[in-house]
A and B are shown apart, each in its own frame.
Chain A
Amino acid sequence: MDLLSNLALGFSVASSLENLLFCLIGVLLGTLIGVLPGIGATATIAMLLPITFQLEPVSSLIMLAGIYYGAQYGGSTTAILINMPGESSSAVTAIDGYQMARQGRAGTALATAALGSFFAGSVATFLVAIFAPPLTAIALKFGAAEYFSLMVMGLVMSVALAHGSVLKALAMVVLGLLLGMVGTDVYTGAPRFTMGMTQFADGLNFVAVAVGVFGIAEILRNLEDEHDRQVMTRNITRLFPTREEFRQMIGPVLRGTGVGSVLGILPGGGAILASFASYTVEKKLSKHPEEFGKGALAGVAGPESANNAGAQTSFIPLLTLGIPANPVMALMIGAMIIQGIVPGPNVVSEQPALFWGIIASMWIGNLMLVVLNLPLIGLWVKLLTVPYYVLFPIIMAMCSIGVYSVNSNPYDLFAVAFFGLLGYVMSKLRCEPAPLLLGFVLGPLLEENLRRAMILSRGDPTTFVTRPISAGLLVLSLAVLVLVFLPQIRKRRDEVFTESDA
């Protein structure tokens, strides 16, 4: 068996004392920066790049990969405890995870996230090992038309993220789309909505918007009313999920892993959709859709598994094609080049020890993370007892440092302040921030791919339906729409979209 001997090679590389140590350093650092709101994996890896000169290529890549998926673990901690997602993927976790924390189930939510992530990470690692080459071929079949249709599907699904009025959710999606337009038009170079400031030429920073509408807004809201928080800490009865909760977790975790693994492979935008898609799926399938948005366990288990699976499988295009699926992967390419490794399809055959070593280390790293994180849950939950006047200034300072470190752009801090206020106003109007963020992320991708597809087809719009994958995705989106608007099933729609007690 080729696969077994390859995995054996990988584990022999990854389990050397030195590589185990770097893997541990990576996941520790990753967890730490993930827990500190705002400071992302991108900034950390960029700062550590020069240090990797001195290391063996395998060790340095193992460490950097550890930071990346470690940050995915840590990021959900802040999303659950203080409603402060550091990355797009944990924005979904914040919806139900934070509600669980407010009900005193923070420990359960954190354990669910950790266990779901571990399971998804392990499965996805083996998927990477087995399917990397054939899956890459699928990713390459995705052209502009296919991405456009994928984004359409994402937007259609986004309405399901709302647990208030559908109209308000649509309004938030549209506002998100508009915010996503800020910046330079890729095709003509025309600046849009930049108000003449070159600092906004590349658009609004995602971290700034997310930290603002979720985190800062939450702080402002909490300052109004301190009782909520006391409830949060007083009601903690146990840290670990019950047998019943474990049983509830299985389905969402399995489905999340599947959804995340598939979407993670697509370079550019696929991984972003993973957690959103999983949330939608869980809400549709749930017997109690009304619980979503109020602390549904499945709303944490599914998306957390999906984003971790996506984080692992997004290594597939990197390792087999040398193509980055996101900014962190672009940095990993930089790290490989610094080490004199030319990223590309040859890495697997020319550097088998490196390729399989990294894959094996991912599984070891996931194991380390779950071992590290489960005992830490008690500690994280204790953070909730830290008084406001200590915790909030610290959070604000960490956020500001983190957001600034992404681009060294002071305008990003103005954006945090602005979106913090906007988020506060939105919460007063009972508008959800999640659909806004999805619109913000998907809008630019939707537009870019729509126009690229149209240029490539020389102005022929049938390109979207004559290409089979694109047509399939559009039919699927249409099916979701029909399901929503067909009067016969209106009753079911009401269950899906509105709060039962609203």
Chain B
Amino acid sequence: MPTITRRILLGTALALGLAGAAAAEFPDRQITLVIPFAAGGSTDVVGRIVAERMGQELGQQIVVQNVGGAGGSLGAGQVAQADADGYTILMGTVATHALNPLILKQKPYDPVADFAPVSLLVLVPNVLAVNPELPVNTVQELIDLAKQEPLAYASSGNGTPLHLSGELFKSMAGIQIDHIPYKGSGPALTDVLGNQVPIIFDNLPSASGHISSGKLRALGVTTAERAPSFPDVPTIAETLPGYETYTWNALFAPAGTPPEAIEALSAAAQATMADPAVAARMAEFSATIVASGPEELAEHVKAEMAKWEPVVRDANVSLD
């Protein structure tokens, strides 16, 4: 009976004349961080690094629980319905808090009304890359080639951020390329490395090893600015002004979580991201640290939904 325990604790604190310290009581037991994807992916890695360090910051262990399935919707839906006490939080992404709500016909949760934003942690660039046997070296050359012959690109799946990055690229460049969805980045990369499919949109961290070794030719990163880890790779926006997509990771609590708990979590998240050891790990990962407060994250979610809404509509992606 966790609520009773907390009430007793709170009562004891009051009796001892520590009334003002109630907020400082959070957290008094372990916190569960739900990662809405299978273990091993980039969101999982970011989540586990953050959970470890944030737990030290809060003085309580943060237990990671992978609730994979339905493109992140299952885990996000679970947190949306969890007790709003700050002890169950979610590692949200562009998929759970912008794309899925736009794509899914049956909405399992509302990304704005059902969640209390905590902190936008990192932005992770995506990359447009080709097999080196494809005779193109720049984004412009790829667009020209696509206008002459049929091409296909691989992505990690239907309705994923990478698929929609590809769709946005197609609509802004005014070209037609077939989309070949895979079950995750791994198999998609395999087929591009083996030149079964010539083009891929992938997360920069998962493709970076192949780009440095020359097995993949990076044509452009999807962020507005070049990635610090690959300063020689231009942005797609240098060819198609205004093109910008990235994957992001942010912490959310269920709506109605007490503001003290949100503040404590947000402060711990920001302190975690300021740790040079964590920053170094994120840099190896090509992730840019944001470490925002709750309000900035709320704004960010709204901006992302506004940005993706027309792309999803134009690409005609919808899932039941």
Contacts and interface: CB of A to CB of B under 8 A. Distances in A.
Given A186-B183, A331-B39, A338-B49, A456 B66 contact: no
A390 B210 CA distance: 53
**In terms of DSSP, what is the predominant structure of the interface of chain A?**
helix
Given A140-B190, A323-B189, A344 B67 contact: no
Contacts of B189: 323
Contact of A322 (B44, B48, B209): B209
Nearest to A144: B196
Interface string B142-155: 00000000101000
B65 interface: yes
B265 to A, nearest CB: 19
Interface stretch (A26-34, A198-206, A237-245, A421-429): A198-206
Given A330-B41, A455-B178, A456-B180, A407 B69 contact: yes
Interface stretch (A45-53, A108-116, A277-285): A45-53
Nearest to A323: B190
Interface string B31-66: 000000011111011001101100000000000111
B38 A330 contact: yes
A267 B320 contact: no
Interface stretch (A187-195, A253-261, A292-300, A355-363): A187-195
Contacts of B186: 267, 323-324, 330, 333
Contact of B39 (A42, A189, A201, A456): A42
A346 B319 contact: no
A126 interface: no
Contact of A143 (B178, B194, B208, B213): B194
Interface residues of B, number: 60
Nearest to A141: B194
Contact of A199 (B74, B106, B184): B74
A45 B40 CA distance: 10
Contacts of B40: 46, 324, 327, 330-334
Interface in A128-148: 139-144
Interface string B127-141: 000000000000000
A220 interface: no
B294 interface: no
A344 B158 contact: no
B190 A321 contact: yes
A12 interface: no
A188 B157 CA distance: 10
A167 to B, nearest CB: 33
**In terms of DSSP, what is the predominant structure of the interface of chain B?**
mixed
B256 interface: no
A267 B184 CA distance: 13
Q: Which of B38, B208, B281, B285 has the most CB of A within 10 A?
A: B38
B77 interface: yes
A268 interface: yes
B193 interface: yes
B191 interface: yes
B125 interface: no
A337 B68 contact: no
A345 B51 CA distance: 30
Interface in B164-207: 178, 180-184, 186-187, 189-191, 193-197, 205
A49 to B, nearest CB: 6
A342 B208 contact: yes
A334 B157 CA distance: 20
B284 interface: yes
Interface in A394-451: 407-409, 448
A452 interface: yes
B212 interface: yes
A344 B318 contact: no
B86 interface: no
Interface string A47-66: 00110010000000000000
A340 interface: yes
B158 A189 contact: yes
Given A327-B38, A408-B65, A186 B157 contact: yes
A381 to B, nearest CB: 35
User: Which range holds the interface residue count of chain A?
Assistant: 35 or more
Contact of A50 (B42, B64, B67, B106): B64
Given A186-B183, A334-B39, A408 B66 contact: yes
Contacts of A344: 208-210, 212-213, 215
A323 B216 CA distance: 14
Q: Which of B42, B194, B318 has the most CB of A within 10 A?
A: B194
A184 B45 CA distance: 25
Nearest to A407: B68
A338 B39 CA distance: 12
A186 B181 contact: yes
B293 interface: no
Contacts of A332: 40
B159 A201 contact: no
A458 interface: yes
A332 B44 CA distance: 12
Given A189-B158, A189-B159, A345-B215, A458 B150 contact: yes
A198 B69 contact: yes
A141 B193 CA distance: 10
A142 B213 contact: no
B190 A268 contact: yes
Given A267-B187, A323-B186, A342 B38 contact: no
Contact of A46 (B66, B193, B319): B66
A184 B70 contact: yes
A452 to B, nearest CB: 6
A180 interface: no
A302 to B, nearest CB: 28
Nearest to A453: B196
A107 interface: no
Contacts of A154: none
Nearest to A46: B39
A343 interface: yes
Contacts of B317: 189
Contacts of A189: 158-159, 317-320
B108 interface: yes
Contacts of B213: 344-346
A12 to B, nearest CB: 26
Contacts of A42: 39
5 contacts: A198-B74, A198-B77, A321-B190, A346-B213, A408-B65
**A-B pairs, 8 with minimum CB distance:** A344-B209, A140-B194, A143-B196, A46-B39, A334-B40, A201-B70, A189-B319, A330-B40
Given A189-B158, A321-B193, A408-B66, 5 more contacts: A140-B195, A187-B181, A189-B320, A267-B187, A345-B209
